[in-house]
């Protein structure tokens, strides 16, 4: 993994927040859904940052806020030394070439009225730097690169399988040769047999094109396979962030431990200790006081209910938001050892 002190990060997210206002009665106190609540991280060239957490924890909102599809309520996103929120429309369009997204649903992310050629070629048409003939040529090259039959260039999305559609989405994202791609749960809607194909394709493209990924998922096994660093989110906040091996073997946060304990292992000889979470995910509109995880944490103390823990670096590049992280330190789960 890149040394953060030496290399300038490609992407820097600084204390970003995305709060959605709730409709309230006139003259009553304004309420917000705190989908993303003060997240900071950096991303370097050719690196993959995995973002994990339960449904509704703000992973996708984070991805879309980074992309500037949703304007942040606070904080800033610095891409290649420029603050995205401060760019002019022209500069923003140029920046879009370098920052792309792959969506979760391969069915909803492709315009049903466009042919595959039009879908993949749309970025080129918008940027308008190539002739029609050159665009078609480039589209065919990219189709071949992602393993799509070039003869299907004039077919429509509904004629393809889920895996093929996701490859169309990937082709659209890489055609402008970006440096960062936000992968918003790109395999969660696919069959397990197809997931491996898509993940391997993403890894091959990363090696070939030097891409950096923000890989959003709720599947810890997938994240482990693709990521260099992993960030665990809960109720819009970072609970733990560390290098992959460090996070999987030397887990600090009880929430991460609970998530890891829920991952099934295809070996009946391995006995796993299940760390069950209490209750349901609290509403982001009304988060608990103190540590937002205390309502479900089996180790919660009085301190957790009253005082919000800071995201602290307990080991080199290993951050955790827990009052008792130093007491939790240690190896976790035999089955995660290589």
C-beta closer to other proteins: residue 101 or 300? 101
Q: Which of 24, 111, 306, 307 binds other proteins (CB under 8 A)?
A: 111
Q: Which of 96, 224, 244, 321 binds other proteins (CB under 8 A)?
A: 96
x/- string (CB under 8 A) for other proteins, residues 60-79? ----x--x-x----------
The DSSP element (H or E) to which 220 belongs, if any, is helix 220-226
Q: Which of 42, 109, 135, 251 binds other proteins (CB under 8 A)?
A: 109
Return the residues of window 207-266 that contact other proteins according to CB under 8 A.
none
Residue located via tokens 């992968």:
183
Residue 211 CA to residue 229 CA, distance in Å, equals 15
C-beta closer to other proteins: residue 94 or 331? 94
Return the residues of window 256-275 that contact other proteins according to CB under 8 A.
267, 269
C-beta closer to other proteins: residue 127 or 206? 127
* Strand, helix or coil for residue 285: coil
Residue located via tokens 């993949």:
120
Pairing relation of β-strands 212-217 and 180-184? parallel
* Strand, helix or coil for residue 328: helix
Residue 148 CA to residue 46 CA, distance in Å, equals 24
Query: Among residues 304, 300, 292, which one has the least CA distance to residue 53?
Result: 292
Least distance in Å: CB of 66 to other proteins? 11
Q: How far is CA 33 from the centre of its chain?
A: 20
The DSSP element (H or E) to which 203 belongs, if any, is helix 192-209
Return the residues of window 124-183 that contact other proteins according to CB under 8 A.
126-127, 149, 152, 154-156, 159-161, 164, 169, 172, 176
Count of Cβ atoms closer than 10 Å to residue 180 Cβ: 22
Least distance in Å: CB of 103 to other proteins? 4
Binding site for other proteins (CB under 8 A): 64, 67, 69, 92-94, 96-97, 99-101, 103-105, 108-113, 115, 122-123, 126-127, 149, 152, 154-156, 159-161, 164, 169, 172, 176, 267, 269
């Amino acid at each position: 993994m890149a040394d953060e002190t030496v290399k300038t990060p490609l992407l820097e997210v600084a204390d970003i927040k995305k709060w959605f206002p709730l409709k309230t009665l006139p003259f009553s106190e304004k309420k917000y859904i705190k989908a993303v609540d003060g997240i900071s991280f950096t991303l370097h060239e050719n690196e993959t940052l995995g973002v994990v957490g339960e449904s509704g924890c703000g992973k996708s909102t984070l991805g879309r806020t980074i992309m500037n599809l949703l304007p942040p309520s606070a904080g800033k996103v610095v891409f290649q030394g420029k603050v995205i929120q401060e760019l002019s429309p022209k500069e923003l369009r140029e920046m879009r070439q370098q920052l792309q997204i792959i969506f979760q649903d391969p069915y909803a992310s492709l315009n049903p009225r466009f042919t595959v050629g039009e879908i993949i070629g749309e970025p080129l048409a918008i940027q308008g730097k190539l002739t029609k003939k050159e665009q078609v040529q480039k589209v065919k090259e990219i189709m071949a690169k992602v393993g799509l039959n070039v003869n299907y260039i004039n077919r429509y999305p509904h004629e393809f399988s889920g895996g093929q559609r996701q490859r169309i989405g990937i082709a659209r994202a890489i055609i402008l040769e970006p440096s960062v791609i936000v992968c918003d749960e790109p395999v969660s809607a696919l069959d397990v047999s197809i997931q491996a194909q898509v993940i391997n394709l993403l890894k091959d493209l990363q090696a070939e094109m030097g891409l950096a990924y923000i890989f959003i998922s709720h599947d810890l096994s997938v994240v482990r396979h693709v990521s260099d660093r992993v960030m665990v989110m809960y109720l819009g906040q970072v609970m733990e962030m560390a290098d992959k091996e460090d996070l999987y073997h030397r887990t600090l946060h009880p929430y991460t431990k609970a998530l890891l304990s829920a991952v099934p292992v295809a070996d009946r000889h391995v006995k796993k200790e299940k760390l069950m979470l209490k209750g349901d995910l609290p509403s982001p509109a009304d988060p608990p006081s103190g540590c937002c995880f205390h309502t479900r944490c089996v180790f919660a103390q009085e301190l957790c209910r009253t005082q919000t823990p800071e995201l602290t670096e307990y080991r080199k590049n290993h951050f955790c938001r827990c009052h008792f992280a130093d007491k939790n330190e240690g190896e976790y789960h035999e089955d995660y050892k290589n």
